[in-house]
C-alpha cells in the first residue's frame, strides 16, 4: 500500500501532466509564457537559497535537513510550491484547454496538502518553526 506521501507525489505528477499536455489545438494567451518564465525564475531563486540536498519531492523532512529562513524564505514558507504553481499556471493559460485547468486545480490541492503535512513535520523537527510561521505566509507574501 502506498504511503500518503507517495500518493501526494503521484498526484502532483499527474496534475503537472494534465497542466502541460496540449489537449487543445490552438495555443492560448502569450501571458502564459511569461508566467511560466516567472515560475522557473522563482524556482531557481529557491534552489539558490535551499540547496537541492536539503529538500525532496516528498513532504518528509530529511534527517540532515536545515531550516532555511533567509532569502525568498523570509517572505514565504514554500517558494518551490509557489514557483511550480506559477509555472504550471502559465502553461495552462497558454494551452487554454479545460483538462489543463483541471490539472492546475488538482495541483493546487496537492501542493496545499503537501504543505500542511510538511509543516507538521517541520514543527516536530524544528521548534523555532512555529515562530517562523507567524512571520511568513505559506505561498504568497502578505496574503496566503
Look at residue 105 and tell me whether its pLDDT is greater than 80. Answer: yes
- Kindly state the cell numbers that stand for 59: 513532504
pLDDT band at 129 (very low <50, low <70, confident <90, very high): very high
Look at residue 37 and tell me whether its pLDDT is greater than 70. Answer: yes
Q: Which class is domain 4-21+28-135?
A: mainly alpha
* Per-range mean pLDDT, top range of 15-29, 56-70, 110-124: 110-124
pLDDT band at 138 (very low <50, low <70, confident <90, very high): very high
Q: Please state the rounded mean pLDDT for residues 19-34.
A: 71
Question: Please, are residues 24 and 96 in contact by the beta-carbon 8 Å criterion?
Answer: yes
Look at residue 36 and tell me whether its pLDDT is greater than 70. Answer: yes
Q: Residue 56: its pLDDT value, please? A: 85
Q: Whole-number mean pLDDT of the chain?
A: 90
Look at residue 79 and tell me whether its pLDDT is greater than 70. Answer: yes
72: Cβ–Cβ under 8 A, 6 or more apart, which residues?
42, 45, 46, 49, 79
Domain range list for the chain: 4-21+28-135
Look at residue 123 and tell me whether its pLDDT is greater than 60. Answer: yes
135: Cβ–Cβ under 8 A, 6 or more apart, which residues?
none
Helices (H), 50-128: 79-95, 98-125
Amino acid at each position: 500500500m502506498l504511503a500518503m506521501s507517495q500518493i501526494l507525489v503521484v498526484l502532483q505528477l499527474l496534475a503537472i501532466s494534465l497542466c502541460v499536455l496540449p489537449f487543445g489545438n490552438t495555443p492560448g494567451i502569450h501571458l502564459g509564457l511569461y508566467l511560466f518564465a516567472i515560475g522557473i525564475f522563482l524556482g531557481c531563486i529557491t534552489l539558490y537559497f535551499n540547496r537541492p540536498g536539503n529538500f525532496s519531492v516528498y513532504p518528509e523532512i530529511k534527517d540532515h535537513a536545515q531550516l532555511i529562513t533567509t532569502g525568498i524564505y523570509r517572505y514565504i514558507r514554500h517558494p518551490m510550491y509557489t514557483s511550480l504553481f506559477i509555472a504550471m499556471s502559465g502553461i495552462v493559460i497558454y494551452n487554454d484547454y479545460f483538462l489543463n485547468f483541471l490539472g492546475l486545480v488538482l495541483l493546487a490541492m496537492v501542493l496545499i496538502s503537501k504543505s500542511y503535512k510538511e509543516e507538521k513535520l517541520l514543527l516536530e523537527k524544528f521548534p523555532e518553526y512555529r515562530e517562523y510561521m507567524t512571520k511568513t505566509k505559506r505561498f504568497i507574501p502578505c496574503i496566503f
